[in-house]
Structure 1
Amino acid sequence: MTMFTNGFSTLLMPKDFEPVNAKDEFTELYLVNTSIPMSIKFSTTPTLVGLPEIREDIEKNLKNNDKISLINSDFIAINEDIYYMVVSSFSDGENEIKRNEFLYVEDNNLYIFEFTYPYADRELDDFYLNIIRSLKISVPKYIVENGEYRINHENK
């Protein structure tokens, strides 16, 4: 069992997935398995809003994008925490792709798990829920004050 940690968060990395360099400052971990094919992205961003506002924005953006179909959008309990789950699909021209996102807010930090895989693949409920359940937050990565954010260096 391989664990990922960045000093702020720790989570289980599934077997047979390879890390890829992140393309933006908020992506903590980006993994791919080309044999499935599937990608897993874990991000942390600062936020001043809660899950209801995040849900409203995501649903509005998806409804305004005719290339993405919203399959499911709901609040769910994972462990003892409430997550916002959004399942969508889109086409890259050749393949139908499914994306399951799980979002969680704690201490002005938004934690996002994004699982992307071919639409025709089996449901992966236990697979991604086990990864999400493994998340341990040591300290918030971002401190949000006066409309600005900074990395939390004091408690790391």
Structure 2
Amino acid sequence: MTMFTNGFSTLQMPKDFEPVKAKDEFTELYLVNTKIPMSIKFSTTPTLVGLPEIRADIEKNLENNDRINLIASDFLPINDDIYYMIVSSFSDGENGVRRNEFLYVEDNNLYLFEFTYPYADRELDDFYLNIIRSLKISVPKYIVENGEYRINHE
């Protein structure tokens, strides 16, 4: 088992996934498995709002997007924490893609797991949960004060 760590958080990386260079500053880990095919993205962003506000904003944005189909949206206990889970699908006309997202807020940091793959498979539930359950937060990555954020160098 391979572990990922960035000094702020640690999590288990699944077997047969390869890291890909992240395209934005908030993505901590981006993995792909071309055999399945599936991608996993883990990101951390600063936030001043909690999961209820995040849920309302996401659902509002999805209502205005005809290309994305909302499958499920609910709060979910994982370990001793409450996550917001959203499952959606979209199509480019030829291929359908499913995305399962799990969001968690602690100390003004939003932790997001995003699993994207081209089919619906309930067999993957344990796969997702095992990765999410492996998350250990050492210290918050971002300090949010006075409407601004900075990286925690403590």
- Same structural fold, with TM-score higher than 0.5 when normalized by the shorter chain: yes
Where do 5+ consecutive residues of structure 2 fail to align?
A: none
Q: Distance in 2 between matches of 1:14 and 1:20?
A: 14
Residue 17 of structure 2 corresponds to residue 17 of structure 1: yes
Q: Aligned Cα RMSD in Å?
A: 0.8
| Letter in structure 2 aligned against 1:9 | S
Q: 2:84 matched to which residue of 1?
A: 84
Q: Distance in 1 between matches of 2:111 and 2:140?
A: 10
Q: 2:66 matched to which residue of 1?
A: 66
Q: 2:128 matched to which residue of 1?
A: 128
Cα distance change on mapping 1:126 and 1:72 into 2, 3 Å:
same
Q: Distance in 1 between matches of 2:27 and 2:146?
A: 24
Q: 2:55 matched to which residue of 1?
A: 55
Where do 5+ consecutive residues of structure 1 fail to align?
A: none
1:122 deviates by 5.0
Q: 1:100 matched to which residue of 2?
A: 100
1:92 deviates by 2.1
Cα distance change on mapping 1:37 and 1:91 into 2, 3 Å:
same
Please list, as runs of the form range in 1=range in 2, the aligned pairs for 1:37-56 lying within 5 A after superposition.
37-56=37-56
Q: Distance in 1 between matches of 2:151 and 2:87?
A: 30
Aligned pair count reads 154
Q: 1:89, 1:119 within 8 Å by CA — same for their partners in 2?
A: no
Does the residue aligned with 1:131 lie in a helix, a strand or coil?
helix
Q: Distance in 2 between matches of 1:124 and 1:80?
A: 21
| Letter in structure 1 aligned against 2:90 | F
Deviations 1:82-117 (A, max 9, x none): 000000000122111000000000000000000000
Q: Distance in 2 between matches of 1:68 and 1:50?
A: 24
